[in-house]
Structure 1
Amino acid sequence: MEKANLGNDIYEKFNEGELRLSGKTVAFKGIAWSKHPTFEGVELKHIITAKDTGGTFSYHLVRIAPNKSIKTHIHETQLETHEVIAGSGICTNDGAKLEYVPGVISIMPAKVPHQVDAGDQGLYLFAKFMPALC
Structure 2
Amino acid sequence: MNDLFSDLDCGIVARLADNAVAETLSGEQPWHAHPIFAGVALKHLVTGAQTGGRFSAHLVRLEPGAEIGDHLHEASWELHEVAAGSGRCLLGGRPIDYAPGVAAVLPQNVPHSVRAGLDGLRLLAKFVPALL
Q: Whose strand proportion is higher, 1 or 2? A: 1
1:23-102 pair list within 5 angstroms: 23-24=18-19, 25-26=22-23, 27-102=25-100
In the alignment, structure 2 segments of 5+ residues that lack a partner are none
CA root-mean-square deviation: 1.3
TM normalised by structure 2 equals 0.91
Q: Deviations over 1:41-69 (max 9, x none)?
A: 11000000011011110000000010000
* Structure 2 counterpart SS, 1:66: coil
In the alignment, structure 1 segments of 5+ residues that lack a partner are 1-7
Contact 1:67 1:122 in 2 (8 A): yes
In the alignment, which of 15, 19, 41 is matched to residue 9 of structure 2?
Answer: 15
Contact 1:72 1:114 in 2 (8 A): yes
Q: Write out the 4+ residue segments of structure 1 that deviate beyond 6 Å after TM superposition.
A: none
TM normalised by structure 1 equals 0.89
The alignment-based identity, stated in percent, is 44
Task: Give, in angstroms, the shift of residue 28 of structure 1.
Answer: 3.2
Inter-partner Cα distance in structure 2 for 1:93 and 1:39 = 18
Task: Give, in angstroms, the shift of residue 23 of structure 1.
Answer: 4.3
Q: Which amino acid aligns with 2:44?
A: H
Q: Which amino acid aligns with 2:48?
A: A
